[in-house]
Amino acid sequence: MKEYLELYWAFFRIGGLTFGGGLSMLPMLKYELVEKKGWVDEETLLDCYAVGQCTPGIIAVNTATYVGYIRKKLSGAIVGTAGMISPSILIITILCLFLNNFLGNVWVQHALMGIKGVVCALMLNTVISLAKKSLVSPLCVVIAVAALVLALFTDSPTVLIVIVAAIAGIIYEKIKGDAKGKEDAQHE
């Protein structure tokens, strides 16, 4: 029982003290899980993080689930995840209960119009850094533009676009593999 509480509390702290999620979480994860608790070594943590990034869902949650699983199997996965999501649930629930009373206030409206400018700037930065990371070949550029156009000008479900992109990647790899196979055969 004590171990579960410890697991819950460690992830509660990580969830409650990391802003922004995703990449910004890695130093905090390393500090809590590798240096302080010694539950996993750094390499395993990076593995968990890599898997967390290439499985669906929120990266922070996925990493918590994976580390929890390594510690205590399924029950550890559930306890770790519960710890990770508790601070968000608490903070936002409390904020929501107050927020709706404030939104009508004229000064809050002025403040929000200013804040929206910052949101735009932050989001533009997010798009630029994502583009830098993911547009690594002409094929990638074509896919990104296609997804953008489909999302803006058609009613295509987001889920469908992601699935089609995944299939395209697998087909591309298959064709590339076949072409390479033929080339190798010719050389022999």
Partner 1 sequence: MNSLIWKIFYEFFKIGLFAVGGGPATIPYLMDLAEKYDWFTMEDVTNMIAISESTPGPLGLNMATYVGTDALGVLGGAWASIALTIPSIIVIVLVAKFLSNFSQNRWVKAAFYTIRPAVAGLIAAAVWNVFEVSLFVEEAGGRVFALKTFILFVAVFALMHIKKLSKMHPVIWFIGAAVVGCILKF
Length of the chain: 188
What distance in Å separates the CA atoms of residue 80 and residue 72, rounded to the nearest whole number? 9
| Window contacting partner 1 (CB under 8 A); options: 2-10, 30-38, 111-119, 179-187 | 111-119
- Chosen residue from 1, 35, 114, 185 binding partner 1 by CB under 8 A: 114
Within residues 56-95, the interface with partner 1 by CB under 8 A covers 56-62, 65-66, 69-70, 74, 77-78, 81, 85, 87-89, 91-93, 95
110 in Cβ contact with 103 (< 8 Å):
no
Which residue lies nearer to partner 1 by CB, 133 or 187?
133
When the beta carbons of 5 and 125 are compared against partner 1, the nearer one is 125
Q: Which residues have C-beta within 8 Å of that of residue 132, sequence separation ≥ 6?
A: none
Residue 164 burial (C-beta neighbours within 10 Å; 0-12, 13-18, 19+)? middle
The span from the CA of 81 to the CA of 10, in Å, is 11
Which of 1, 2, 97, 101 lies at the binding interface for partner 1 (CB under 8 A)?
A: 97
3-state secondary structure of 103: coil
- Per CB under 8 A, does 180 bind partner 1? no
Q: Which of 5, 41, 42, 110 binds partner 1 (CB under 8 A)?
A: 110
The residues near 44 (Cβ < 8 Å, ≥ 6 apart) are 70
Compute how many residues bind partner 1; rule: CB under 8 A. 92
122, 179, 180, 182: which one contacts partner 1 (CB under 8 A)? 122
Per-position x/- string for 138-177, each x denoting binding to partner 1 as judged by CB under 8 A, each - no binding:
-xxx-xxxxxxx-xx----xxx-xx-xxxxxxx-xx----
Residue 55, interface with partner 1 (CB under 8 A)?
yes
Among residues 83, 84, 87, 90, the alpha carbon closest in space to that of 5 is found at 83
